[in-house]
Structure 1
Amino acid sequence: MTISTHVLDAARGRPAVGVRVRLEHGGATVAEAVTGPDGRITGWPSDTAGVHRLVFDTGGVAPFFPEVVPDFRVTEPGEHHHVPLLLSPFAYSTYRGG
């Protein structure tokens, strides 16, 4: 299984570059990265079922939300899980992408 994310700055209509993101599982950090020029982090390996957490350091893009922390459940460890984040100054949304 792999886990990826895509951070978009909805207020500016472009990818959010330079956002630190941490992947956690079982209370431990599994991986860390920074979004690239396209706002993406791809291919974090994970072969473990259960609840995972992405911790987005969003203070530089949306100061009202210094962090966004969605938890998500992996039931099929062989599948790819893509969790995008859409940010604006006073709102955010996330979902399971393709």
Structure 2
Amino acid sequence: MVQGRWMVQGTAEAPQRCSLPVPQAPDKPELLNGSLTTHVLNTATGLPAAGLALRLAQLGGPGGQWMELAQRRTDADGRCLPLLPPGQAEAGTYKLHFETAAYWQGLGYTSFYPFVEVVFTITDPAQKLHVPLLISPYSYTTYRGS
């Protein structure tokens, strides 16, 4: 039985479990070879964070230095071109650096956080990896998306 977006198995009196429908494989085969993307949302306004500068770097081995791989600026939808296009990801430790202070100053606000750095590990370079960032002048949240 389907109730809204949830799939309920069993009967109304004794449901066995709830789960979201299983997503289908994308129609674009190039998305199956992995990539790294991000999306920044301004939670104070509920709108995408347009024009926010960000950089991607990779850690060069244990105790190594950060090597910058890409620079981007978010578009009107809070997104940018993939930071690692399909086929270019490698297993390792990466850092996304978001210039939040400049973004908030451009909107006439002061930010508690001058920048946000999200450090993460890619273990399977073939997987698509999406790292969203939700920001307000006094908080931020990130998670592994899909």
CA distance in 2, matches of 1:93, 1:24: 20
CA distance in 2, matches of 1:4, 1:14: 18
Q: Is the 8 A contact 1:17 1:39 kept in 2?
A: yes
CA distance in 2, matches of 1:47, 1:70: 17
Larger Rg: 2
Letter of the structure 1 residue corresponding to residue 134 of structure 2:
L
Relative contact order higher in (CA < 8 Å, ≥ 6 apart): 1
Structure 1 runs, 4 residues or longer, greater than 4 Å off:
none
Q: Is the 8 A contact 2:72 2:81 kept in 1?
A: no
Residue 74 in 1 paired to residue 122 in 2? yes
CA distance in 1, matches of 2:117, 2:89: 21
Tell me the equivalent position of 1:29: 68
- Structure 1, unaligned runs of 5 or more: none
The structure whose residues are more often helix, as a share, is: 2
- Alpha-carbon distance, 1:58 to partner: 0.4
- Alpha-carbon distance, 1:44 to partner: 2.2
Matches within 5 A, 1:1-98: 1-26=34-59, 27-45=66-84, 46-59=88-101, 60-61=103-104, 63-98=111-146
CA distance in 2, matches of 1:66, 1:54: 14
Task: Give the secondary structure class of the aligned counterpart of 1:36.
Answer: coil
The alignment of Structure 1 onto Structure 2 pairs a total of residues equal to: 98
* Percent identity (aligned): 40
TM normalised by structure 2 equals 0.64
- Alpha-carbon distance, 1:42 to partner: 3.4
Q: Please, what is the CA RMSD of the aligned residues?
A: 1.2
- Alpha-carbon distance, 1:48 to partner: 0.9
The structure whose residues are more often strand, as a share, is: 1
Task: Give the secondary structure class of the aligned counterpart of 1:12.
Answer: coil
CA distance in 2, matches of 1:40, 1:21: 11
